[in-house]
Amino acid sequence: MSDLETIADRTEIEALRGEFTDAVMMRDYDRLASVFTTDGVWRIPEAHVECTGREEIRAGIERLQSAWEYFVQTVHPGAIQLEGDTASGRAYVQELGRLRDGTSGVNYSLYHDRYRRTPQGWKFTERVYEVRYLDTTPLTGSGWSPKAS
């Protein structure tokens, strides 16, 4: 693989991670499901969530997001190991939000990822979420939506 191909693959994988986060933030469940392969898996072990395939992933994120009054996720670059048409890596995540039941929290986490090159570009074959720090101190701020103003 040439240096340019390596750079292109890494750039496309970073863009894929960005698409995931943007789809979560915009509650675009169809787009979120589309960043996975048809047999892709999304896991959040701490929440006992495991979704396999795009339909389950779409339904799972919609169900989880419906519980949130507001939710903010930011993602930061991590490692990427290319292995031909597959790759693995990690992305670092910070989240904060408040559930509709009034509980809230801030966490620092990471995604353990596996990727596959497809005719449509790189896709997730697996995303496993791992919380490294959780603070459930009540948040004093409020959510804002451009639709509310």
Question: Which has the higher per-residue pLDDT, 93 or 142?
Answer: 93
Two tokens, residue 110: 């990471």
pLDDT of res. 143? 80
pLDDT of residue 141: 87
Residue-range domains of the chain with CATH: 3-135 (3.10.450.50)
| Mean per-residue pLDDT, 119-131 | 98
Rounded Cα distance, 69 and 138, in Å? 13
Confidence band for 1, pLDDT divided at 50, 70 and 90 = low
In the chain, % of residues over pLDDT 70: 96
Computed over every residue of the chain, the mean pLDDT equals 94
pLDDT tier at 144 (50, 70, 90 boundaries)? confident
Q: What would the pLDDT profile of 46-73 be if each residue is shown by its tens digit?
A: 999 999 999 999 999 999 999 999 999 9
Please check whether residue 86 is in contact with residue 109, taking contact to mean a CB–CB distance below 8 angstroms. Answer: no
Q: What is the pTM of this model?
A: 0.92
CB-CB contact of 47 with 62 (8 Å): no
Q: What is the radius of gyration, based on Cα positions, of the chain?
A: 16
